[in-house]
Structure 1
Amino acid sequence: MLTQKLGRAEKERVEYFDKFRESENRYSEECRRSRKLLNEVECMKRRLVMEQKKSFNNASSKALQSSKKILSEKIAAFNEKIANINQIDADDPNISGIQSSFAISNCSLASSGQSLREEKITNVAT
């Protein structure tokens, strides 16, 4: 009778530890699975951020390209207007005379400014 009780107690102890090992294995497996899922979620978050950045960069570059195109068209139109005005001015003898006198005075100012600088340099050196 005592041996039967000892046998049953041993059997219960073995069953208990078997169940404990099973539970421990399941827990370990769930922990691994949880870590794996966490890594996948983190990876997906990084991908999402990268995709959002890429999408934002593409959208902003498209907006910049369209703005550049519009701006270059406006600049070209403005340059054409200036060329037309200059052509009209070149045909007017009064304006073309004034333009030539400005060009001559600018040249003389530049050359006189150069000579004044040279005089200052020589005065400082002496």
Structure 2
Amino acid sequence: MFRTKATAAALVATLGLGAFAAAPAQADQRDFARFVVGAAAIAAIAAAVNAENNRKRERQSAYITPPQDRDDWQSRAEWRHRAWLREQRQRAEWRAERRREQERREAWRRAHRYHDPDYYRHARDDD
């Protein structure tokens, strides 16, 4: 029913808040309290769904089909350009990830170089 645990948690939290807020209300204030609680619940659910949609859009890597009209060469060219941009962005992300990994390894080696047996190779006589 719910797409994520966050959406379900937001719904449960807002309904619980609604029950807590509507319980002590007077008879004439009850409708207003229900309206406020309902609006808060809808806003919280919409925020959770929106966050999930944004997360999905960030990690979308599926193939996006080109326009099907053979004669519409402008939209096909634009699609090809956008596909090329997507590929470049993915390559850049991959390169940045590799660079971070390499920098992390080099930092570890710099921090641990005195424990490396090869670090003192210049001072050894057995080479």
Q: TM-score, normalised by structure 2?
A: 0.38
Higher relative contact order (CA 8 A, sep 6+): 2
Q: Which has the higher helix share?
A: 1
Q: TM-score, normalised by structure 1?
A: 0.38
Bigger Rg, structure 1 or 2 = 1
